Structure 1
Amino acid sequence: MVKQLLHKGFSSVMALLVLFSTVSFTVEKHFCGDVLVDVSVFAEAEKCEMEALEILQKKTCCKDEIEIIEGQDELKVVSFEDLDFKKQHFIIAYTYAYLNGFEGLPKQTIPHKDYSPPNLVTDIQVLDQVFII
């Protein structure tokens, strides 16, 4: 039970790790002068009201910064044939030892499973005043 839960947990973590290492996204920032107005991760950053006036006056105090965070483009896939002979031998030996190393326990028989003890009418130790000290 615990082994299955750990296996599913590690599998999920590894899948999320691969997913997040390959995802790329952009962070867009809008500055009005030296003041940060808006930061946006997936959508376009909102512009301030000063930008409409800048178009009329032909001078700029607003600027946009775009940071692109790129994910991994290629995942390295190694096949069994790409490994050298020593590593192949180790993997085969480890797998064989792991799969054949565990043996099941034989079914144990309990001879007194269906035996019920006799009913006690009186407690003999208390009756005879014999106690283990």
Structure 2
Amino acid sequence: MKQVFHKFGAVSMAFLVLFTTMSFTVNMHYCGEMLVDYSFTQHVKTCGMDVQTSSESCDSSTTKDSCCNDKQLVVEGEDNLKLSFENLSLQQQTFVASFVYSYINLFQVVEEKNDSFSYYSPPYLIKDISVLHQTFLI
């Protein structure tokens, strides 16, 4: 159960980073108040009621206002994700350094070796007491 929770947390954090750094644009075409078309990837299709201006005489022709409207929604993602260690204050640097040092020391195995018996020789065995009393540890 713990591994499933860790995998779910890792995947959700990866998607969170992905969606916060992703930029996208939505193009929309309105005809009056009604949304005609929208697109995430390319230009939108128009409804065909756009005013066509002729390139022959731009001065003499009067242009009508079109009822159509194009809108573009731009969502910018976060670009500056890498924080440098130099931008931190002295207190923050001290905290990070002490945290890393204490965290690394949690996983070091400290072996305590008891060498007190190495300086003394074992007592001489006069009689084997376990054989004498017939008591054996199995």
TM-score normalised to the size of structure 1?
0.53
Q: 2:83 aligns with which of 53, 61, 77?
A: 77
Aligned residue in 2 for 1:118? none
Following TM superposition, the consecutive aligned residue runs of length 4 or more in structure 1 with deviations greater than 6 angstroms are: 81-102
Q: For 1:11 and 1:78, locate their aligned partners in 2 and report how far apart those are by CA, in whole Å.
A: 24
TM (normalized to structure 2)? 0.51
**Whole-Å separation in 1 of the counterparts to 2:69 and 2:5:** 51
1:55 correspondence with 2:52 = yes
Match of 1:65 in 2: 71
- 1:90-129 to 2 correspondence within 5 Å? none
Per-residue CA shift, 1:58-83, capped at 9, x if unaligned?
Answer: 4222110111110001014355x876
Distance 1:46 1:73 in 2: 31
The whole-number CA distance in structure 2 between the counterparts of 1:92 and 1:3 is 29
Instruction: Say which one has the larger Rg.
Output: 2
Give 5+ residue unaligned stretches, structure 2.
54-61, 108-138
Question: How large is the Cα RMSD of the aligned pairs?
Answer: 3.7
2:2 alignment counterpart? 2
